[in-house]
Chains A and B, each alone.
Chain A
Amino acid sequence: MIDRRSLVAGGLLFGGLALGPHMALAAAGTRQRLVFIILRGAMDGLAAIPPVGDPRLVQLRGALAAPPEALGAPIALSPDFAAHPALSGFAGLFAAGEAAVVHAVASPYRERSHFDAQNVLETGGNAAYALKDGWLNRLLPLLPPAPPPVAISATLPALLQGAAAATSFAPSRLPDAGAGLKARVAALYDGDPLLHRLWSEAMATERLAVSAGAASGPQNAAALATTAARLLADPAGPRIAVLDVGGWDTHAGQAPRLAGQLRQLDAVFAALKAGLGPAWADTLVIAATEFGRTVAANGTGGTDHGTGSAALLAGGRVAGGRMHGDWPGLARLHEDRDLRPTSSLNGLFAGAVAGLYGLDPDLVVRRVFAAAPDRAMAGLIRP
C-alpha cells in the first residue's frame, strides 16, 4: 500500500527543485545512497563467482564448469574464488576495494517457485505472502527524512510496498501523451487534492529524469541504471533506488545466455558508478537473487532451481576486495543437489543497512526483519 501522506518527503522533492540543485539539503544522514538490484529468475552464483580449483565443480557441471574459452579466463578475486570473465568491471571494482561478494547465501524459502521466493526476498518474511509489505519499506522510518525511494519499473515492487511513501518511475512503452495534453490535465486536477498531488509528483519526477538525460521508450538495464544514478546524485532527489534485472532463469543454453546476463549486470554496476559521480563514495549497491541453481548441469546445457547463491555488493561504502560469508564447499550439498546456504539474505540486508546508516544492527533486525530474524552480518561496510 502506498501512503502518500508523507508530506515531508514529498515536500523535499519539490522544495529542492524550486530552490535549485545546490541548496543544502544534503545534511548529515542524507548523504548515503542505497541501490538495491533484484536479480529476478535465480542467478547462478556458482557460475558468476566460481570457486577455484574444486574438482567437484567440474565433476558435477562438466562443460558448464568453466565459461566458454572465447570469453577468456575467469578473473581471480581471491585465492579461492574468481569472477566470470563477463564481470570484468565488477572484478576491477573488487580489486580496488569497491566491491565484495557474499557467497552461499539464501532466504528461508526452500521450494522452487520464482514468484514465491521473490516475495520472500522482498518482504523479508518467513514464507511467501506472509507479509504484505517490503523490508525496505519497513526500514524507512528508521532513516533520516528524504524524498521517497524510487523503483525504476512500471509498478512498485513488493520490496517498496507498505506504509511509507515510495514511488515508481519507468519510461513507458506507450507513446508520450504530449506536453499540451499534460498541461491541460494539470489544470483539470486543480480542484481534486488527491489527483493534483499525484500528478504534480509524476511531472516532477519526469522533469527530474528528463533533465538527468533519461531517454524515453524501452531501454536496457544499463540505461535504467543511469537514470537511477542521476536521480540519486541530485541533491534534491531520492536516496534509495530499486532496479530489476531479470532473465537469469538459465534452464537451457546457460553458457552463452549467462554470459550475456552477466555482461548486462556488469554494465549496470558501471553505469551506477559513472552516474553517481562523487556520490559513489557514499553509496552501497546490493544485488541479490531469490535462490541459486543446481550444482550439476541438466540435460539441456543448463541448470535448474537451487538454493544457495551469491550476492554482489558494490559502492564506496563497501568493505571491498573481500569474500564475505562462510563457504561450505561442494562436498556436501543441500538435498544432494544445491549449494548449501550458510548465511541468510535477511542477515546480509540487516548488516548492510545497519552499517551504511549507522544503525544498531539488532534494532534493524527487530524492527525490519522481525518475521524472519537472523543475526546481522558484520563487516560488510567500511567503518
Chain B
Amino acid sequence: MSSAAIALNRFGLGARPEMTPPADPQAWLRTQIDSFDPRPGLLAGLPGGAAMTVQYRENLARLRRAGIGGLPRRPGDPEPLQGKAAETAAAEYQQQRRQAFRQAYGAQVQARLALAISGPTPFAERLVHFWANHFAISIDKLATATMGGPLEFEAIRPNIAGRFADLLLAVVRHPGMLFYLDQAQSIGPNSLIAQAARRRAAPRQPGLNENLAREILELHTLGAGHYTQADVQGLARALTGWSVGGFVRRPIGLPAPDGAFVFQPNWHEPGAVTVAGTRYAQDGADQAEAILRDLAVHPQTAQRVAGKIAQHFVADVPPPALVARLADVWRSSGGDLPALYRALIAAPEAWAQPLAKFKTPWDWTVSVARALPKADRPDPRLVLMLNELGQPVWRPGSPAGWPDDAARWAAPDALVRRVEVASRMAQLGGGIDPRALAQRLLPGTLSARTASAIARAESPAEGLALLFVAPEFLRR
C-alpha cells in the first residue's frame, strides 16, 4: 500500500480524494512522461517572454524619459521633469507598474497552481517545478518581475522530456535568464563595439559580465569547486553577443522578434577560449553552444544533477549508490532525461521508505489544495499563503533557488504558519469526513495516533486541519 502512497505523494503532488491508488505505481509514473502536455490550453492565453520584454523595454523608456532612476539620457528625450511634477510622475509610474506586476504575476501563479492541482500528469508537473528551481531566476528585479512564468512555461515545460543539453540551451537563451543574470548587455572587451567605443573615447565603456557564465558553471552544471575563474572568463567571453531581441538599440545583423534569442556579432569577443580543459575555436554563437553541449554531458554535471534529483525524490542525503547509478545513466545516454527518470522510478531506494522528505511550503500547499473538493480555479488567497509560508513563487532571492532539505523548512515558526494556513483552508472543506479522507490520501502511511486525533476532533473542519498538519501529511 505504501508504494502507492509514495507514487502519489512523493513522486506526484499529493493524492486526490477521487483518485484510486494506482495498482502499478511505477507504470503510472512512467506513462506520465509520455503523456505530458507541455502546452496545455490553460497556458495559451498568458502573455509570454516576448510581451514581458516589450513591457520591460517600455518601462525603461518611461523611466529614462522622465529622468527617474539614473538612466543615461538619449538625444531627443524631453527635458526631465523637476520637483513636484517629477515626484508625481514617479509615484504614478510606481503605482501602474505595481498593478501591472500584480496582474501578470497573479495570472502566472494561478496557472501554475491550476496545473499542479488539477493537471493529469502530476509527476511530470513536479519535474517541471524541480527544473524551474534548478534553473532558478528571481522576480525581485525590474527586468524579471514578470518573467517567472514565461521562463517556466516556455523554456522548461517543452524540454523536460528531451536531453539536458536542450533544456540548458533553452533556458540560457530565454529572456528571463538573460536579463536575470545580466547577460543581455555583456560585451566582449575586444569586440567590434568595444573597439569603436574606445576609439570614440565614450564616457561609458561597455563591459563583460560574468554572472551568467559563473552561474551556469556553479549552479546549472559542474558545481562549486569543479571549475576555475579562468573557466568563467572563457565561458563569459564565448557568451558575449547572446542577447534578447527587441531590447537593444540599433541591433546589427538580422533583426530578431521581441523577446526572442538574438546573437549580436558585433558584441562577440573574437578568438578561441578554453573551458573545462577543452579549447573552443568556433565562430559566433556556435562557440558558446558547443561549450554548453559539452557541459551538459560532462561527468561532473551528471554527478551533481543526479545528486540533486535524488535529493528531491528520495532523501535529503541521497544514497551514494543511487546517485552513482543515475550519473551512469546520464553519461551513457548523453543526458537523456526520460532515461534518467526511468532509472529513478526503478530504483529500489526510492521505494524503501515512505515519508522520507519534508514538504516545502509549495509542496504542502499544493497537496492541501489537491485534497480539497475541486474548484473551478485555485483559491486566489493561495498566493498570499505561499508568501506567509516563506516560499513566494519564483522569488527565491538568488539563482541558487530554494533549498530542498528539511533543515530549511522544518522550523518552529514555519510550523505555526502551516497550522494557521491549515486552519483556514480546512474551512473550504465543506462537509467532508476527514477520517475517510485521511484513509484515501495516506494509504498505508496513516498512523493510529493521527487517525484517532482526527476522529476525536471537535468538528470536521478541525479534523481536516489536523489531517493537513499531521506528520504523515507534512512529509512525502
Contact = CB atoms under 8 A, between A and B. Distances in A.
Contacts of B349: none
Closest 6 CB pairs of A and B: A202-B412, A299-B67, A174-B420, A252-B90, A300-B86, A201-B412
Nearest to A167: B412
B413 interface: yes
B465 interface: yes
Contacts of A251: 68-69, 90
Contacts of A181: 419, 423, 462, 465-466
B81 interface: yes
B390 A304 contact: no
B447 A176 contact: no
Given A174-B421, A206-B416, A301 B453 contact: no
The A contact surface, by secondary structure, is loop
A375 B280 CA distance: 44
Given A2-B408, A199-B412, A115 B140 contact: yes
B444 interface: no
B36 to A, nearest CB: 33
Interface centre among B81, B385, B420 (most CB of A within 10 A): B420
B470 interface: yes
Interface centre among A113, A191, A202, A305 (most CB of B within 10 A): A202
Nearest to B403: A1
Interface residues of B, number: 56
Contacts of B408: 1-2
B126 interface: no
Given A168-B411, A198-B411, A298-B70, A177 B390 contact: no
A294 to B, nearest CB: 8
B412 A198 contact: yes
Interface in B414-451: 414-417, 419-424, 447, 449-450
B397 interface: yes
A184 B457 contact: yes
A81 interface: no
Interface centre among A3, A113, A299, A305 (most CB of B within 10 A): A299
Interface in A7-44: none
A220 interface: no
A156 B411 contact: yes
Contacts of B465: 177, 181
A371 B67 CA distance: 39
B411 A167 contact: yes
Contact of B390 (A128, A155, A205): A155
A154 B413 contact: yes
Contacts of A155: 390, 413-414
A253 B91 CA distance: 9
Contacts of B86: 252, 299-301
Given A129-B400, A154-B388, A205 B412 contact: yes
B419 A119 contact: no
Contacts of A177: 416, 419-420, 422-423, 465
A202 B80 contact: no
21 contacts: A1-B405, A2-B407, A3-B407, A119-B398, A167-B413, A172-B388, A175-B420, A177-B416, A177-B420, A177-B422, A180-B462, A184-B453, A188-B450, A191-B447, A192-B471, A195-B474, A202-B412, A252-B87, A252-B91, A301-B87, A304-B69
B314 interface: no
B471 A188 contact: yes
A65 B397 CA distance: 34
A131 to B, nearest CB: 11
Interface in B41-96: 66-70, 80-83, 86-87, 89-91
B376 interface: no
Given A156-B411, A188-B450, A299-B67, 6 more contacts: A113-B141, A184-B466, A205-B413, A206-B416, A298-B68, A299-B86
B24 interface: no
A95 B247 CA distance: 55
Given A175-B424, A191-B447, A253-B87, A299 B80 contact: yes
Given A194-B410, A251-B90, A304 B70 contact: yes
A79 B68 CA distance: 36
Contacts of B462: 180-181, 184
Contacts of A195: 410, 415, 471, 474
B420 A176 contact: yes
A200 to B, nearest CB: 8
Given A253-B91, A300-B87, A188 B416 contact: no
A365 B263 CA distance: 46
A327 interface: no
Nearest to B80: A299
A371 B421 CA distance: 40
A190 interface: yes
A201 B411 CA distance: 9
Contacts of A115: 138, 140, 397-398
A187 B470 CA distance: 10
Contacts of A3: 407
